[in-house]
Amino acid sequence: MLKIRHAEISEKEKTYEWLCLTDTTNMHMGAPDYPESPIPDWTQFQTDFEDFYYLESGRQLGSVMIRKLDFFE
């Protein structure tokens, strides 16, 4: 079963690593295919993905979501 949930502020660094530091990163950002969307460093990510994206109080403005595939349900 696929589950989708809001990311928590304690997972901000983990979501940065998943988005920007994996072997699939160049499939959705960065040169040569996406030069208009450079891969951010941690400092830039913190600026672009403000804390409200991870806080319940900020969900009306946007939210980072985590999806999880659970084979055991």
pLDDT 10s digits, 41-57: 999 999 999 999 999 99
Task: Work out the number of other CB atoms within 10 angstroms of the CB of residue 4.
Answer: 8
Whether the Cβ atoms of residue 7 and residue 72 lie closer than 8 Å to each other: no
For tokens 């295919």, name the residue.
33
Q: Report, as an integer, the average pLDDT of 25-33.
A: 94
41: phi then psi, degrees, rounded to nearest 5:
-80, 175
Per-residue H/E/C for 18-29 = HHHCCCCHHHCC
Q: What is the pLDDT of residue 73?
A: 54
Question: In the chain, how many domains are there?
Answer: 1
Range of the domain at 23: 2-69
Distance of CA 1 to the CA centre of its chain: 21
Query: Which pTM was predicted?
Result: 0.84
Residue 26 has pLDDT above 90, yes or no: yes
